[in-house]
Amino acid sequence: MLFWDMHEPILVHFQVHGQTVNRDNYCAMSRNELKTAICKKRRGMLSKKVLLYHDNARPHTAAATVETVQQLGFKLLQQPPYSPDLAPSDYHIFSPLKEALRGHRFTSDEEVKEAVHAWLQEQHKCFFSVGIQKLVE
């Protein structure tokens, strides 16, 4: 999972190999990792409104997830009910990432993680702000 703002990635969370994202581990990650990452990267941000834009995937729309988001003091921006399951931001980030990783052979999960982190660090700062701006178009 990737959480980002107009400046940079806030949190890159890799799911444990073989584990499926469900509402319980998504809520736990939000409480334990996302809130901490926002505190570290955006000091003072939690005193303002943090907006999360989710797609329509079940772990994101579950009542427990909505409750967790509210408990954390975040505001959840919903997708329109008839929109595709993927958020527009997924296309902005994951299409170029997929293209960059195409053709590479990785021998371990760690190599994949390193390649993803390296690609994210290579992106110009405006890459992330352009992605945010596309959400409001």
Domain boundaries, the chain: 2-136
pLDDT tens readout for residues 19-59: 888 999 999 999 999 988 988 888 776 667 788 887 777 88
pLDDT tens readout for residues 98-126: 999 999 999 999 999 999 999 999 999 89
Distance, CA of 67 to CA of 45 (rounded, Å):
20
Question: How confident is the model at residue 137, as a pLDDT?
Answer: 55
Confidence band of 85 (pLDDT split at 50, 70, 90) = low
Question: How confident is the model at residue 7, as a pLDDT?
Answer: 85
Distance, CA of 87 to CA of 83 (rounded, Å):
9
Topology of domain 2-136 in CATH is Nucleotidyltransferase; domain 5 (3.30.420)
Interhelix angle 88-101/125-136, rounded to 10 degrees, is: 150
Q: What is the pTM of this model?
A: 0.79
- For tokens 């994202």, name the residue: 21
Candidates 78, 19, 72; CA nearest to 45 is: 72
Candidates 117, 109, 99, 83; CA nearest to 2 is: 117
Q: Greater confidence, 62 or 136? A: 62
Question: How confident is the model at residue 114, as a pLDDT?
Answer: 96
Mean pLDDT of the chain: 85
Distance, CA of 89 to CA of 4 (rounded, Å):
10
